[in-house]
């Protein structure tokens, strides 16, 4: 099975429209326009996308960035990791994760980090099998409701 991982040209509107289909699996709250606008904004901040295509369809994708934190140093942060629901257990997610870990090392990162929803048990199993540990709780506050 081909797991050739390619960068997605986030400047190409057609490429973003095509990628929206797989990202909507993980980010269903975003319309296609919101997704495209958000990716453009994040790309300006260093966000990158890589994909695996099979039979002219994107079957898996990952969005990531490199950032430096006081707590962790220079890390590769994985924003998004998605495999097509009908292609789960095909090795695409694992191939992307291996690629991301190698890319982080190549870019001089000391670690890779990600946040994951509590309900994503299949993803948790993959992350733990790839050497990730549950090291913290991520907390957030909705600022739109603050006066």
Which CATH homologous superfamily contains domain 5-131?
Gcn5-related N-acetyltransferase (GNAT) (3.40.630.30)
State the burial class of residue 29 (Cβ atoms within 10 Å of its Cβ: 0-12, 13-18, 19+).
exposed
pLDDT higher than 70, residue 1: no
DSSP letter (8 states) at residue 132? -
The three-point CA angle 128-45-106 to 5° equals: 50
pLDDT digits (tens, 9 = 90+) for 105-122: 999 999 999 877 666 757
State the burial class of residue 86 (Cβ atoms within 10 Å of its Cβ: 0-12, 13-18, 19+).
exposed
Q: Confidence class of residue 22 from pLDDT cuts 50, 70 and 90?
A: very high
pLDDT digits (tens, 9 = 90+) for 31-81: 999 999 999 999 999 999 999 999 889 999 999 999 999 999 999 999 999
Is 53:6 a contact under the CB 8 Å cutoff?
yes
- Measured CA to CA, the distance from residue 54 to residue 96 in angstroms comes to 14
Closest CA to 54 of 86, 76, 28, 32: 86
Per-domain boundaries in the chain: 5-131
């Amino acid at each position: 099975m081909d797991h050739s991982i390619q960068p997605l040209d986030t400047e190409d509107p057609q490429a973003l429209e095509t990628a929206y289909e797989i990202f909507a699996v993980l980010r269903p709250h975003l319309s296609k326009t919101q997704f495209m606008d958000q990716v453009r904004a994040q790309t300006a901040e260093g966000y990158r996308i890589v994909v695996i295509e099979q039979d002219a369809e994107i079957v898996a994708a990952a969005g990531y960035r490199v950032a430096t934190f006081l707590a962790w140093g220079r890390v590769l942060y994985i924003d998004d990791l998605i495999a097509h629901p009908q292609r789960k257990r095909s090795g695409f997610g694992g191939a992307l994760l291996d690629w991301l870990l190698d890319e982080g090392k190549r870019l001089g990162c000391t670690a890779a980090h990600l946040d994951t929803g509590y309900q994503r048990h299949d993803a948790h199993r993959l992350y733990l099998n790839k050497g990730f540990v549950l090291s913290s709780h991520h907390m957030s506050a909705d600022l739109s409701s603050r006066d």
